[in-house]
């Protein structure tokens, strides 16, 4: 359970002649928030914050992110150390249970995941019902929901601790299998069942590609990508998971909704969009400057994909790690990708450009991740599924944290109504 945020001072709000003392809540890293829980009752006012740029939806003990200083920590541990040294399973345990596991805890956790990785009997046939053109994110979201139909004991709206744990293990264990089976079936290939003797990451790769022992360089590259994506506090998909979960919908429907939210190109879908953009530039003769100009043109809807972030206004620490990894992985695998050169030119041009400098737009995690995933052999439309696998422990950690928070309420924002004022109904016969 997360310690509640403490209020140590108050701020004063004056509105329409009324004064209200608002508790100032201070987080671990001294970040401050005005607690407006009593605002509407006391004043009749609500706040208006489209896009939630200034709204804290909860107090959370999972991830700390400082966008100005480019800091990202999971449960206090810097992302750089975890990306360097931790396994993905260890990172998932850390996010969900709050501490690094002991050797025994990690072995137990890994065994419990491996034991649950196979799909329920009969579930495989659903993959054959999707059209061949189905996007892998649509298939994943649908299959996570279908998985819930095989797990009736895990749908309790008020789950006991063991039920919550079992739902978490079931999803963590089976989502890679769902993702890999979806990929194999879409390619018209037979599925490759999960293996208990491999790590989480190596098992996923063998289920996708069917090679009995995946290349350690590829396992290592994917491990790092998954860890870098594992949590990012209240992003769009995680907020979706929390909002859906707050209605006491189960873990499966919450995660399926998270997958759908992640699919969008402004969020996780950006990794696919970046590669598609680089391919377009390549087909166009490599004139990246034209695309930088287009991204600046307010008459165009084009944006430089993989650039900009709602919270990072200096640099995205994940993108630094991934850029370095990109050079290393391509070198180790002996892959020469012309898209990498285009990406580097594009980055260089954008970082020198006043438009990007003044708006504090830097490459984000998705700018280089797609080039690594391409080198590994993952098809472009499967990139966001890889992001979903990475983000899964984060979603589950937030779902658990929320359900365990005392005083948890259903999420329900308000609005300012700007539609027509009351008007009388006109019968159809009088409407002409
Ligand atoms: N290319 C060109 N202009 C941009 C870009 C971009 N990629 N991103 C932001 N801007 C401009 C935007 O037009 C606006 O300009 P102005 O002030 O003149 O109107 C200004 O920068 C602020 O943009 P915003 O849309 O208000 O910023 P936001 O915080 O709402 O959006 C974002 C953040 C990530 C959605 C946005 O930067 C974007 O669309 N980036 C491209 C998509 C992308 O790479 N998404 C992946 C994000 S990281 C993965 C994850 O989601 O975890």
Cβ-contact 78, 85 below 8 angstroms: no
Q: Is the model's pLDDT at 105 over the cut of 80?
A: yes
What value does the mean pLDDT of the chain take?
95
Q: Assess whether pLDDT exceeds 60 at residue 78.
A: yes
Residue 370 CA to ligand 1 center (angstroms) comes to: 18
Whether 393 contacts 95, CB under 8 Å:
yes
Confidence of residue 1 (pLDDT cuts 50, 70, 90): very low
Residue 8's pLDDT is what?
Answer: 77
Q: What average pLDDT does range 317-329 have in this prediction? A: 93
Residue 290 CA from chain centroid, whole number = 31
Distance from the alpha carbon of residue 308 to the mean position of ligand 1, in angstroms? 5
Q: Which of 92, 74, 389 is nearest to 255 (CA)?
A: 389
**Tokens, residue 406:** 């005392």
Whether 3 shows a pLDDT value over 80: the answer reads no
Q: Is pLDDT of 324 > 60?
A: yes
pLDDT at 2 over 90: no
Residue of 292, 308, 315, 384 best suited for mutating to test ligand 1, as the one with most atoms within 8 Å of CB: 308
Which pLDDT value is given to residue 50? 97
Query: Residue 5 pLDDT > 80, yes or no?
Result: no
Residue 366 falls in the annotated catalytic set: yes
- The conformation of residue 125, written as its DSSP 8-state character, comes to G
**Percent of the chain whose predicted confidence (pLDDT) is above 70:** 99
DSSP string across 280-335: HHHHTTS-HHHHHHHHH-TT-----TTB--SS-SS--HHHHHHHHHHHHHHHHHT-
Give the residue, by CA position, lying nearest to ligand 1 atom 29. Answer: 310
Q: What is the mean pLDDT of residues 21-30?
A: 95
Q: What domains are there in the chain, each with its CATH number? A: 6-56 (2.20.28)
303 Cα–ligand 1 center, Å: 8
Which residues form the pocket of ligand 1, taking CB atoms under 6 Å from any ligand atom? 51, 232, 235, 266-268, 270, 295, 303-310, 359, 361, 364-366
Q: Which of 231, 316, 353, 366 is catalytic?
A: 366
Q: Give the residue whose CA is nearest to atom 32 of ligand 1.
A: 309
**Catalytic residue from among 231, 309, 353, 398:** 309
pLDDT band (50, 70, 90) for residue 4: low
Please give the distance, rounded to the nearest whole angstrom, from the Cα atom of residue 333 to the centre of ligand 1.
Answer: 33
């Amino acid at each position: 359970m997360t310690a509640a945020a403490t209020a140590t001072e108050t701020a004063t709000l004056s509105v329409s002649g009324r004064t209200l003392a608002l508790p100032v809540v201070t987080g671990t890293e001294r970040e401050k928030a005005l607690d407006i829980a009593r605002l509407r009752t006391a004043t009749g006012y609500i706040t208006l914050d489209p896009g939630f740029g200034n709204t804290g939806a909860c107090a959370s003990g999972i991830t700390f992110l400082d966008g100005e200083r480019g800091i990202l920590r999971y449960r206090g541990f810097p992302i750089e150390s975890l990306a360097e040294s931790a396994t993905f399973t260890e990172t998932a345990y850390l996010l969900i249970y709050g501490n690094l596991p002991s050797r025994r805890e990690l072995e137990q956790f890994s065994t419990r995941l491996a034991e649950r990785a196979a799909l329920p009997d009969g579930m495989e046939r659903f993959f054959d019902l999707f059209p061949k053109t189905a996007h892998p994110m649509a298939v994943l979201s649908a299959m996570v929901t279908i998985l819930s139909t095989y797990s009736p004991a895990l749908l309790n709206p008020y789950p006991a601790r063991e039920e919550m744990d079992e739902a978490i293990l079931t999803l963590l264990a089976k989502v890679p299998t769902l993702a890999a089976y979806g990929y194999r079936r879409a390619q018209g290939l037979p599925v490759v069942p999960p293996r208990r003797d491999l790590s989480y990451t190596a098992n996923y790769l063998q289920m996708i590609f069917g090679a009995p022992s995946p290349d350690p360089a590829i396992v290592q590259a994917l491990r790092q990508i998954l860890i870098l994506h594992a949590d990012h506090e209240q992003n769009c998909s995680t907020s979706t998971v929390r909002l859906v979960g707050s209605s006491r919908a189960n873990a499966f429907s919450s995660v399926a909704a998270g997958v759908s939210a992640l699919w969008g190109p402004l969020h996780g879908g950006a990794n696919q969009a970046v590669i598609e953009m680089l391919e377009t530039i390549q087909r166009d003769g490599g004139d990246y400057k034209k695309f930088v100009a287009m991204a600046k043109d307010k008459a165009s809807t084009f944006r430089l994909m993989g650039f900009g972030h709602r919270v990072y206004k200096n640099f995205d620490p994940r993108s630094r790690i991934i850029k370095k990894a990109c050079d290393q992985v391509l070198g180790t695998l002996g892959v020469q990708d012309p898209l990498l050169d285009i990406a580097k030119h594009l980055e260089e041009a954008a970082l020198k450009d006043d438009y990007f400098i003044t708006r504090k737009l830097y490459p984000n995690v998705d700018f280089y991740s797609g080039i690594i995933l391409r080198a590994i052999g993952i098809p472009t439309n499967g990139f966001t599924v890889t992001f979903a696998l990475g983000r899964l422990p984060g979603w589950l950690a937030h779902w658990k944290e929320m359900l365990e928070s005392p005083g948890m309420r259903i999420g329900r924002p308000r609005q300012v109504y700007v539609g027509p004022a009351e008007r009388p109904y006109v019968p159809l016969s009088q409407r002409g």
